[in-house]
Amino acid sequence: MRVLGIETSCDETSVAVLEEDGRILSNVVSSQMEMHARFGGVVPEIASRHHLENLPAVFEESLSRAQTPLEEVGLFAVTAGPGLIGALLVGLSAAKALAFCLGRPLVAVSHLEGHLYSPFLSADGAPARVIAHPFHGLVVSGGHAELVRVEEDRIVPIAHAGDDAPGEVFDKVARRAGLGYPGGPIVDRIARRANPKRHPFKVGKFNDGSLNFTFSGLKSQLVRELEARGIEGDRREEDVDAGLADLLAGFQRSIVEQLVDRLEAVRRREGMERLALSGGVAANSEIRETLARWGTEREIEVFLPDRALTGDNGAMIAFAGLRRFRREGPREYLSANARSRWPLGS
Ligand code: KG4
Ligand code: ZN
């Protein structure tokens, strides 16, 4: 059985075809990043309109690359949330129409569950890796930070972003520094040639005893620091001087340290054998290197997603849909609704 996955929750229109063993036959992603770049972030109405325009071509391209006639698709999976409602509705409506016309089952998938299992997929045509339970999952993206424990039959939430999401602060700080959008990859590159120790920041924490993430204080400190240094207007990445580069490196280091701080707390509290990192921010080189090292030192198996699968894509949605379908079987889908909020484990 082949699975077709559709993702339209934010600014990527994506359709993928997967084999039952998780092999990715095609994963076509059309990014609208450039459309939104001049606004410094995703504009919901523009996103929905572009999904509507792009989806038919992305869909055709995905089937064609997978050399899969539509009749050979045995299961449809689509992101139903969390995300921008108008954007989600484009994918969801298309998926319902396809499933209905072909008489095939459809699974409405959580975007975060898609990210969660993405480290087990391979971007180069190999079957999905075997998933042993329990494992801990850390999803870090432009809209979310969620730390969970994944058991055979349930997902247990441990911590979430109490204010800004990590990708969001990367984007906001980079925009304030005049560096463009999305900010994550830009800061990542700048930090590689800088010294994070010259400008250390404290690791953010709430006072309520929770392990929830907090990044908005860090963002404010950065903005104040940029103001104090008189940094204004746009600049090219190459023109960033050593002072600003060190500041950005210190900022990134503080995000990495907070992630490690929470993981360490969980490891001490309940033990940890395996960790799966995912989401757009999981492309960050320092996060990847630090967590890989952290895991090796503690004999924790750390699963990092292929860089090509860290951003939003249909393959992860098809895979999460396939897993749900195997566990729960066919469900009534015509009444499935788009949800702007949908925390993991709910
Ligand atoms: O998962 P994703 O594609 O979309 C959401 O579901 O939010 O994540 C996008 C986010 C953006 O905020 C982007 O700046 C961030 O991922 N990102 C990075 C890197 N690459 C993308 N953040 C830090 N370092 C990177 N290399
Ligand atoms: Zn995402």
| 310-332 pLDDT, tens digit each | 999 999 999 999 999 999 999 99
DSSP state at residue 198: G
Ligand 2 midpoint to CA 102 (Å): 28
Quote the mean pLDDT of the chain. 97
Q: What separation in Å is there between the alpha carbon of 136 and the centre of ligand 2?
A: 18
pLDDT grade, residue 37 (50/70/90)?
confident
Does the pLDDT value for residue 132 go beyond 90?
yes
- Interval 78-97 mean pLDDT: 98
Kindly tell me if the per-residue pLDDT of 40 is higher than 80.
no
Judged against a pLDDT cut of 90, whether residue 286 lies above it is answered with yes
Q: What is the predicted pLDDT for the residue at 330?
A: 95
Number of the ligand closest to the Cα of 248:
1
Place 92 in a pLDDT band, splitting at 50, 70 and 90: very high
Ligand 2 center to residue 144 CA distance, Å? 8
Q: Give the ligand 1 atom nearest the CA of 170.
A: 14
Check pLDDT > 90 for residue 41. Answer: no
260 contacts: CB under 8 Å, gap ≥ 6: 290, 291, 294
Question: Nearest ligand to the C-alpha of residue 141?
Answer: 1
Distance 225 CA to ligand 1 centre (A): 23
Residues with CB in 5 Å of ion ligand 2: 141, 312
Residues with CB under 6 A from ligand 1: 10, 141-143, 167, 170-171, 182-185, 188, 279-281, 283-284, 311-312
Atom of ligand 1 at shortest range from CA of 140: 1
Helices assigned H by DSSP within 271-313: 285-297
CA dist 142 and 154 (Å) reads: 25
The tens digit of pLDDT for each residue in 151-200 reads 999 999 999 999 999 999 999 999 999 999 899 999 999 999 999 999 99
How many residues appear in the chain?
346
Q: Is the pLDDT of residue 337 over 90?
A: yes
Mutation choice for ligand 1 from 42, 141, 215, 259, CB with most ligand atoms inside 8 A: 141
* Displacement of CA 136 from its chain's centroid (Å): 16
Structure letter (DSSP) for residue 80: E
pTM metric for this prediction? 0.97
Q: Which of 327, 342, 344, 345 is nearest to 9 (CA)?
A: 342
